[in-house]
Structure 1
Amino acid sequence: MCSRDLKTPWIDLNTLMRGQRRVLLRHGERPYQLSITRRGRLILTAADQDTDTAAAAAPPGKARS
């Protein structure tokens, strides 16, 4: 996993996040939320099926309604 495999593509996180602290990802039919913590760490969690883009834009630590 730590080897430098040139066949593995790199995606810059800034490109993926586009200035947001949270984004929604889809893997097959399942939604996931990728978040950046205040300390700059990444958290990937399974998201609710009814999660929309407004929830992804909410500040970290805020509960979804």
Structure 2
Amino acid sequence: MPKLKTKSGAKKRFKLTGTGKVIYAQRGKRHGMIKRTNKQIRNLRGTNVMFKSDGDNVKKFFLPNA
């Protein structure tokens, strides 16, 4: 059997906590900051914890070795 490879896009987007939850950066801050209000930009700082069911799918399909 071949080894399962981690999706390289998922490597850059997701991280696992010590308890196995998936952390992701909030969307909408890559470009186009001029359009956004200061409040939007401020509220998009930091990271979020993914819902359990979505996080399980990410771990199963995209981060099999994590």
**TM score, norm. by length of structure 2:** 0.30
Higher relative contact order (CA 8 A, sep 6+): 2
**TM score, norm. by length of structure 1:** 0.31
Q: Which has the larger strand fraction?
A: 1
